[in-house]
A and B are shown apart, each in its own frame.
Chain A
């Protein structure tokens, strides 16, 4: 040991304190192993989720075949025991895309206002309030929808439209459906409200990431503030904004409780605008606890698997667009 002190000068700091092999080398080994195992467990969870949903749904998927299960228009757990997912896929796609269409422009407007117009203090308040919308639990929005929004919409919006149509265009009534207040339209409106924060936050990030030169060049050309935004900022940020919109669509597709509480829950096509409908998450919530037939349970799991695939595609698309459009952009000089 002492021979380490070969220089003969001041004793080494390591004298008498042999560096612990456990501390130095094994410590790092253990730490790395633990950290990598924890990281790998997330990978396993994501893969495991896909596998479990597929495996549990396989009874139903084998019975009908994947394509026929998706295309199947009848969902009857009571009498015929026939299960087809199409009504719910249709309901999910319609409600979430309509919600995105309603939410997109207001959300973009809020992002533009908060990023470009509002003074910092106001912008901070707006951002926090918008994020607060995202923080409100889905069930709280659901209970508000059941007791406040749906009756209000029924009395002040749906009924007048329905009565007007009845007088003037009776042929359109089947499309309009029963204005009971709980149905596709109400669910869509609530969904739109719930995805606004996501669209806004992601659009604002994209707008904020536009370099200063880009704006200054436009200002120097004599543009007004709106022209700067329209011609210099928005084209540059469009990748991020689009990706944000698609991610919000993903949120809308997976939104469960508020929709299940407001959509009226009807399993048979055709759905109408005001009438009751169902989405993939809502049917799982409504029937999973009561499902006794193994084919019924398995079909619900299979719907979960289809939902997994749709959510996966939406998320990957958003990531792809974000990379494709925001870095290359085509606008950077």
Chain B
């Protein structure tokens, strides 16, 4: 019996060590990103364009204002495309459980969710960039919306399913048509779940660089106002961070670290906010 107790203790200690070993890199990464990036995170970073490498080497002011604006435009476009479709598909799964397309939809949605983001970039390249003949913010938004869609659909389904059927029955018993029950009774009741789904989808898509490389492409300068952000090549944070990191200029490397801070803050905020909204009710998958 004593040997078994000791064995038990040893296992417990091993589990603690494993947990620390897994969490340690997280802390190291965040530490390095902050230490390396904070020096480049000055006023110019948020107000100037990047320009050519010589600009940074000669010490003239450069920044990533075009990147930050581009990120906002592309992410908002992606949300605008993905939210209606994703919520609609989620509604179909939860509110019309008897619909004959549902098993297929569920499989296809999971398939789409499991596909590497880079394939969604190739898909958006063929769908948007090829016919338009130019890389564009729109194509980037479409590519990111493919990343968001399956997450939103799944989250909507589980958020709506968590609302008891009695609420729907109460509505129907009052003579309210089904669509009105869904929109006015079920959706408001599920709004925290819906918000979590959107935030998680955003957090996931905002960090993706792979689909943007062949769609919004990148741009060292601000595109023409205003439609330039939609119809011309646009810079986005993850894709710019990649270009800066693999560039040979040390000035650009430190800008890359600063971009990493901005990106990390954006993603972690969305993530933390999603957590805060649900307060431990839903598990991220």
Q: Name A residues whose Cβ lies closer than 8 Å to a Cβ of B.
A: 19, 23-25, 27-28, 30-32, 34-43, 45-49, 52-53, 56, 105-107, 109-110, 112-114, 117, 124, 126, 128-144, 146-148, 193, 196, 200-202, 205, 224-227, 247, 250, 253-257, 261, 281, 284-285, 288-289, 301, 304, 307-308, 311-312, 314-315, 319
In the complex, which of the residues B18, B87, B123, B210 contacts A256, with contact meaning CB atoms closer than 8 Å?
Answer: B210
Chain A contact residues: helix, strand, loop or mixed: helix
Residue of A with least CB distance to B30 = A136
Interchain CB contact under 8 A, A135 and B238: no
Q: Give CA–CA (A113, B18) in the complex, Å.
A: 9
**Which residues of chain A are within 8 angstroms of B18 by Cβ–Cβ distance?**
105-106, 109-110, 113
**Which residues of chain A are within 8 angstroms of B150 by Cβ–Cβ distance?**
42
Which of B44-52, B57-65, B240-248 participates in binding chain A? B240-248
Instruction: List CB contacts (< 8 Å) of B71-123 with chain A.
Output: 84-85, 87-89, 91-93, 95-96, 99, 101-102, 104-105, 108-112, 114-120, 122-123
Known: A52-B123, A257-B238, A307-B116. A140 touches B92 (CB 8 A): no
Q: Name B residues whose Cβ lies closer than 8 Å to a Cβ of A.
A: 4-5, 7-8, 11-12, 14-16, 18-19, 21-23, 25-26, 28-29, 32-33, 36, 84-85, 87-89, 91-93, 95-96, 99, 101-102, 104-105, 108-112, 114-120, 122-123, 126-127, 146, 149-150, 153, 175, 177-180, 182, 203-204, 206-210, 213-214, 217, 238-239, 241-242, 245-246, 253, 256-257, 260, 263-264, 267-268, 271, 275, 280, 283-285
Residue of A with least CB distance to B182 = A31
**Which residues of chain B are within 8 angstroms of A25 by Cβ–Cβ distance?**
177
In the complex, which of the residues B117, B123, B146, B203 contacts A53, with contact meaning CB atoms closer than 8 Å?
Answer: B123
Residue of A with least CB distance to B256 = A143
Contact sample, A vs B, 11 pairs, CB 8 Å cutoff: A30-B179, A40-B101, A49-B146, A138-B208, A140-B260, A143-B245, A253-B116, A254-B116, A256-B210, A281-B116, A315-B114
**Which residues of chain B are within 8 angstroms of A146 by Cβ–Cβ distance?**
245-246
**Which residues of chain B are within 8 angstroms of A254 by Cβ–Cβ distance?**
114-119
**Which residues of chain B are within 8 angstroms of A131 by Cβ–Cβ distance?**
271, 284
Interchain CB contact under 8 A, B213 and A289: yes
